[in-house]
Amino acid sequence: MKTIRFPHPLVLLVGFILLAMLLSYVLPAGEFTRVNDAATGRDVVVPGSYHRVAASPVSLAQALVGIPKGMAEAAGVIFFVFLTGGAFTVIDQTGALRRGVDWLLTKLRGREVFVIPIISLLFATMGALENMQEEIIPLIPVLLVVMRRLGYPVITAAAVSIGAAAVGASFSPLNPFQVQIAQKLAQLPLLSGSGFRLIFLALALVIWIGGTMRYAARHRVAPELLAADEEAAPGSAARQGIVLLLLLLTFAAFTYGVLNLGWEFEQMGALFFVLGVLAGLLGGLGLNGTAEGFITGFRDLAFSALLIGFARAIFVVLEQGHIVDTLVNGLSAPLAHLPVALSALGMMGVHTALHLPVPSVSGHAVLTMPILTPLSDLLGLPRQVTVLAYQYGAGLCELITPTNGALVAIVAACGVRFDQWWKFVLPLYLLLFALGATAVVIGIAIGLQ
């Protein structure tokens, strides 16, 4: 009997685009009225303003045009991936990355078990601080080298990076793209409830890191060794040390720019382009060698970068059909008839379901929080708990949804099928979802404010 193979990521995303097109013929078109919110600087929906609009079913031709439109809307992210991928390829060709990996593994010899928690905590911290996702894609080749040298399965490269970052973001007390926007919309003080969130963030990381370590240990194989001609990384140690120092300084500038200067992907891409050029020149590649390194990086990450555009096209088609607000209204309305605790848990489920067609966490917040906040007041549900339901429902969905372009791109860059990722992640996702539900129930019991 022939086994059914899970579809290729590109086939999967095109299938979702066509599904979005079909839904535009089935679901009624409707919209909420939107006004600009001074607290967030974003357009937010007016509660109770949902109304039907003229049907606008999306034709096959429009759906196909939605693909380049999605790429255009995600252009900043896509070109950031290209530029950073090129920069890291240049750095790798100087031999600096291999020397850095060798140094790290030498220092941890006999203590390799600490590699997974150390790397996971670094990415979880960046997830908690700035919702790191797409920025991870160019780092995957480096993480793959580390995991293979340790004999860990390649899926752990995705687990310690995008997985840990998503968990950190979901349980974060200060993520500006999730909890801070949601708290502003719910008219709560920023950083309120931070102590409560930190407790559950720690528990969530224990679950995620412990599960990743258990999987890595159970599937460990003989470590890959460098080929004999690669054992001594080319170039002088001094040059490679300078390149690694330059890399650390770039990450410091990157973190400062994102957190304090409000950098977008364009500024981040420019920073890493400069990194690649300087690394190539200081690493001894010369102008032509540096250019060739960039081209190699562009080629290697082209597929992963373009998957982000295809994922964005799903939302483009749903918007063209004017059915995004219909989905939000249809899923949120029944919550008003549930008891308080069930309504809060129902909100988690609603956010999970809505995050499939609305994969942007900030866009998800401005779409749903203005509707669910007044509803929570009517039910006697603390607003802080409403924010928790959004965080845990939408944030944790980032671990499983194929409409998350960064996740699909990273899993593909690891050479892992998405069904393999699901098999790994679903048990941990369910544990984390249960933890989030527990936090919501406790928040109701103590009247979290």
At 273 the pLDDT is 92
> Domain range for residue 139?
9-50+60-446
Angle formed at CA 386 by CA 385 and CA 389, multiple of 5 degrees = 85
Could you tell me if residue 55 is inside a domain? no
Nearest to 127 by CA among 163, 156, 169: 169
Helix axes 115-130, 140-150, angle to 10 degrees: 160
pLDDT at 225: 57
**According to the model, what pLDDT value does residue 346 have?**
94
> What separation in angstroms does the CA of 105 have from each of 109, 112, 169?
6, 7, 28
pLDDT of residue 232: 45
Size (the chain), residues: 449
Identify any residues that bridge with 37 across adjacent strands, giving them in sequence order: 42
Three-class SS state of 45 = strand
Q: For residue 170, what are the CA distances in angstroms to 36, 126, 130, 132, 209?
A: 26, 12, 11, 11, 15
Cβ neighbours of residue 198 closer than 8 Å, sequence gap 6 or more: 173
Q: Write down the pLDDT at residue 1.
A: 43
pLDDT value for 67 = 93
Structural contact between residues 247 and 275, judged by C-beta atoms closer than 8 angstroms: yes
pTM to 2 decimals? 0.84
Three-state DSSP state, 36: strand
Count of structural domains, the chain: 1
In a domain, 173, yes or no: yes
The 10s digit of each residue's pLDDT in 244-267 is: 889 889 888 887 887 788 788 889
Measured between alpha carbons, how far apart are the two ends of the chain, in Å?
A: 57
Specify the pLDDT at position 405. Answer: 86
The contacts of residue 317 (CB under 8 Å, 6+ apart) are 17, 20, 21, 24, 58, 62, 63, 66
Would you say residue 3 lies in a domain? no
Residue 2 located in a structural domain: no
The answer to whether residue 4 is domain-embedded is no
**Can you point out the beta strands (E) in 284-430?**
none
The answer to whether 444 touches 382, Cβ cutoff 8 Å, is: yes
| Residue 206 located in a structural domain | yes
User: At residue 297, what is the residue type?
Assistant: G
- Rounded to an integer, what distance in angstroms lies between the CA atom of residue 398 and that of residue 382? 25
The tens-digit pLDDT sequence of the chain (449 residues) is 455 577 788 888 899 999 999 999 999 999 988 888 777 777 788 888 889 999 999 999 999 999 999 999 888 888 988 898 888 889 888 888 777 777 777 777 777 788 999 999 989 998 998 888 888 887 888 898 889 888 899 999 999 999 999 999 999 998 888 898 899 888 898 889 999 999 999 999 999 999 999 999 999 887 765 543 344 445 577 888 888 889 889 888 887 887 788 788 889 889 989 999 999 998 888 899 999 999 998 888 888 888 888 988 998 999 999 998 898 888 888 888 888 999 999 999 999 999 988 888 888 888 898 888 888 888 889 999 999 999 999 999 999 998 888 898 899 889 899 999 999 999 999 999 999 999 999 999 998 98
The number of beta carbons lying within 10 Å of the beta carbon of residue 415 is 12
